[in-house]
């Protein structure tokens, strides 16, 4: 039943149980997670924090997956951005102070690609939100109608009633 329940939750999310703003925000915030290199505390904290918000989880995960692939192409750009920020003479004391705290080195913020990716993602998230919002408003309703008409969707929502009856007995 775990598999059916998980599949039902995914279909429910795809069947527009999120608002257009939640879907667009999920795409924009998923981009930040997708751009930041994985395997550090910063990526984990970003994904955990963003996933705890009331936005579309499928949009977050789709966007994270997509932008993880795009991030490799942007590495030269993010490396340069991170180098500029981390080598600013006025910010060096701040970076040193930050690095001296216990958990902060695990974020790998001192890596030029990590810092550049984070900054690029944060700066580009609002424009991406503004671009995707009208697209989601236009294309999500027909997609949602198609998903709701699928036999699998109808079967999964029927399985929900069967599960409720079983637990009641």
CA distance 138 to 73: 29
pLDDT at position 147 is: 65
pLDDT tens digits, 19-58: 889 889 999 999 999 999 988 898 899 989 988 888 888 8
CA distance 126 to 46: 16
Q: Is 39 left (phi over 0), alpha (psi -120 to 50) or beta?
A: left
pLDDT at position 19 is: 84
pLDDT at position 51 is: 83
CA 127 from chain center: how many Å? 16
Q: Can you tell me whether residue 120 is helix, strand or coil?
A: helix
Low-confidence ranges of the chain (pLDDT < 70): 1-17, 142-150, 152-169
Largest CA distance in the chain: 69
Tokens at residue 84, please? 């500029």
């Amino acid at each position: 039943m775990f598999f059916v329940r998980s599949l039902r939750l995914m279909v429910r999310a795809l069947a527009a149980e999120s608002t257009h703003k939640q879907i667009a925000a999920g795409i924009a915030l998923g981009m930040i997670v997708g751009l930041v290199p994985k395997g550090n505390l910063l990526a984990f904290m970003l994904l955990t924090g963003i996933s705890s918000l009331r936005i579309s989880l499928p949009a977050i995960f789709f966007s994270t997956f997509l932008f993880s692939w795009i991030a490799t192409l942007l590495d030269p750009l993010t490396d340069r951005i991170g180098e500029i920020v981390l080598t600013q003479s006025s910010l060096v004391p701040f970076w040193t102070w930050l690095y001296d705290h216990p958990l902060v080195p695990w974020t790998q913020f001192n890596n030029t690609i990590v810092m550049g990716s984070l900054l690029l993602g944060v700066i580009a998230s609002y424009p991406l939100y503004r671009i995707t919002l009208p697209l989601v408003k236009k294309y999500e309703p027909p997609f949602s109608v198609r998903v709701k008409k699928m036999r699998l969707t109808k079967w999964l929502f029927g399985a929900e009633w069967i599960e409720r009856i079983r637990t009641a007995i």
